[in-house]
């Protein structure tokens, strides 16, 4: 961000609105959209200067774009990282960094409770390529000691997400980063649920942060995107190698949409958090509800850690009715909650993991993760919380 006076230290709301980037010669209030696949040069002397890094410039859309670079800079500023590389989706970002890290080290460590897409990539790509996976369960006593024993110089990284998808497990990032650093292993954190507004993994000891920008960063359900943030040298290598040659490039238009959406990110997260807390409290007192998973509730196992490492408890929660048919019927009766697999939109969304996101897993596998047949995951939107609670009350008691 252009900082004309040294005493100005912009807050997140200011950063989201006043994004960094090249000055527009026409002084447009909204950053321009560079909707182009390639860039031209007046002569080969300038080609040489740009490719040698002696002059700023762009060559081809798969390698970089001014609109996308502005979005990447904003994410870096919010996360407190040196550099960000944007990708065409969250899975594009996750797969790129995992491929990059495991090229030289054939082992990885992951928590058992993990986003289904990440788990599928592990099982369908990393393991068949010979990568040894060390699973750990942060819900169990002694998980830290067990993980420490498994890490070695062959371990490419420890990967984690907190709160986890979909059971909302909270991992102590300070403790996890200490374990990783003691073994000389980088820590990668998926910060999609929390966003950099609520949680800053790099400040808590992580080395790399990933996002599905499709979710809260975009915030309007109209785009796909992903990001990886870390130190400049690693991000330069990632950009040149996997970022360029895998081809999962974020489009200029989606970059522009992300810049637009992120102007309201701090305000949206305040509303998501407030609505989720109200709904979690309502569900925790309803006689039909067997359990509620939300770190904002004082009785939640992750509450104490979340209160220390997060500035808010987020807009995601899950709950169980204990029975598959009850869960499906309640979700189908809702008016304001739409059945869908995504999250972070203005509209409230609900999904039954056994029917959607975790459908391919065996019932035993889902139960091992804490996903029972009556389990429902909720993305609380920006509607009036009172209306959402009345909607849930009507559906539960119909």
**pLDDT, tens digit, 9 for 90 and up, residues 35-61:** 999 999 999 999 999 999 899 999 999
| Domain assignment of residue 6, yes or no | no
Q: Is the domain of 83 the same as that of 208? A: yes
- Residue 294 domain flag: yes
Residues 342 and 196 in one domain: no
Query: Is residue 74 a part of any domain in this protein?
Result: yes
Dist. CA 299–CA 206, nearest whole Å = 27
DSSP, res 376: E
Confidence of residue 92 (pLDDT cuts 50, 70, 90): very high
Residue 336 has a pLDDT of 98
- Which of 229, 262, 295 is the endpoint of a domain? 262
- Mean pLDDT in residue range 304-328: 97
Q: Is 209 contained in some domain? A: yes
Does a structural domain hold residue 154?
yes
Quote the mean pLDDT of the chain: 95
Specify whether 315 is located in the same domain as 299: yes
Are 109 and 122 within one domain?
Answer: yes
DSSP secondary structure code for residue 208 in this structure: E
Average pLDDT over residues 150-166: 97
pLDDT tops 80 at residue 239? yes
Map tokens 């040698």 to a residue: 52
3-state class (DSSP) for residue 177: helix
Question: Domain holding 172: CATH number?
Answer: 3.40.640.10
Within 8 A by CB and 6+ apart from 208, the residues are 97, 157, 186, 187, 188, 189, 228, 229, 230, 234
pLDDT(4) > 80: no
Residue 392 belongs to some domain of the structure = yes
Which pLDDT does position 12 carry in this prediction?
Answer: 93
| E strand or H helix at 149 | helix 143-150
Q: Do both 237 and 291 map to the same domain?
A: no
Give residue 313's domain range.
267-397
The whole-number pLDDT of residue 16 equals 94
What count of other Cβ atoms lies within 10 Å of the Cβ of residue 108? Answer: 24
> Are residues 187 and 177 in contact, defined by beta-carbon separation less than 8 angstroms?
yes
The 10s digit of each residue's pLDDT in 186-215 is 999 999 999 999 999 999 999 999 999 999
Q: Which two tokens stand for residue 106?
A: 């054939």
pLDDT of residue 246: 94
Q: State pLDDT tens for residues 336-372.
A: 999 999 999 999 999 999 898 888 888 898 898 899 9
C-alpha to C-alpha distance for 320 and 290, rounded to whole angstroms: 6
Nearest to 187 by CA among 199, 204, 169, 170: 204
144 within some domain: yes
At which of 262, 297, 316 does a domain end? Answer: 262
DSSP string for 229-271: EE-HHHHHHHIIIIIHHS--BPPHHHHHHHHHHHTTHHHHHHH
Which residue among 246, 262, 278 closes a domain?
262
Domain co-membership, 27 together with 98: yes
pLDDT of residue 8: 67
Q: Please tell me the distance from the alpha carbon of residue 74 to that of residue 295, in angstroms, as a whole number.
A: 28
In this predicted structure, what is the pLDDT of residue 360? Answer: 81
Q: How many structural domains does the chain have?
A: 2
- CB of 89 within 8 A of CB of 226? yes
Domain with residue 320: its CATH number is 3.90.1150.10
Residue 258 located in a structural domain: yes
Under a CB-based contact definition with an 8 Å cutoff, are residues 273 and 315 in contact? yes
The answer on 244 and 150 residing in a single domain is: yes
Which amino acids are annotated catalytic? 62, 115, 190, 215
């Amino acid at each position: 961000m252009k900082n004309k006076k040294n005493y100005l230290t912009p807050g997140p709301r200011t950063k989201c609105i006043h994004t960094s980037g090249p000055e527009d010669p026409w002084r447009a209030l909204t950053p321009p959209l560079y909707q182009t696949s390639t860039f031209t040069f007046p002569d080969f002397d300038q080609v040489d200067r740009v490719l040698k890094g002696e002059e700023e410039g762009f060559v081809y859309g798969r390698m970089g774009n001014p609109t996308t670079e502005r979005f990447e800079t904003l994410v870096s500023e919010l996360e407190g990282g040196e550099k960000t590389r944007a990708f065409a989706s969250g899975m594009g970002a996750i797969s790129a960094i995992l491929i990059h890290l495991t090229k030289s080290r054939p082992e990885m460590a992951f928590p058992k409770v993990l986003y289904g897409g990440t788990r599928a990539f592990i099982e369908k790509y990393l393991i068949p390529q010979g990568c040894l996976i060390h699973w750990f369960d942060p819900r169990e006593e002694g998980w830290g000691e067990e993980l420490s024993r498994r890490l070695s110089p062959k371990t490419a990284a420890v990967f984690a997400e907190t709160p986890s998808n979909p059971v909302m497990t909270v991992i102590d990032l300070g403790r996890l980063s200490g374990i990783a650093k003691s073994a000389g292993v980088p820590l990668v954190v998926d910060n999609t649920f929390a966003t950099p507004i609520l949680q800053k993994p790099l400040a808590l000891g992580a080395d790399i942060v990933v996002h599905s920008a499709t979710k809260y960063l975009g915030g309007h359900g109209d785009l796909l995107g992903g990001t990886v943030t870390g130190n400049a040298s690693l991000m330069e290598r990632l950009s040149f190698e996997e970022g360029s040659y895998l081809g999962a490039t974020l489009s200029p238009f989606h970059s522009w949409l992300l810049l637009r959406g992120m102007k309201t990110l701090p305000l949206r997260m305040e509303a998501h958090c407030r609505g989720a807390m109200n709904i979690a409290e309502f569900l925790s007192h309803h006689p039909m509800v067997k359990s509620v998973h939300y770190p904002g509730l004082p009785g939640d196992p992750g509450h104490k850690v979340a209160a220390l490492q997060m500035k808010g408890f987020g807009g995601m929660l899950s709950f169980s009715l204990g029975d598959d048919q009850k869960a499906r019927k309640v979700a189908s009766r809702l008016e304001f909650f739409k059945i869908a697999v995504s999250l972070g939109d203005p509209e409230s969304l609900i999904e039954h993991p056994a029917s959607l996101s975790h459908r391919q897993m065996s019932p035993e596998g889902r139960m091992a993760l804490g996903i029972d047949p009556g389990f429902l995951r909720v993305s609380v939107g920006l509607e009036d919380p009172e209306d959402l609670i009345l909607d849930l009350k009507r559906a539960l008691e119909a």
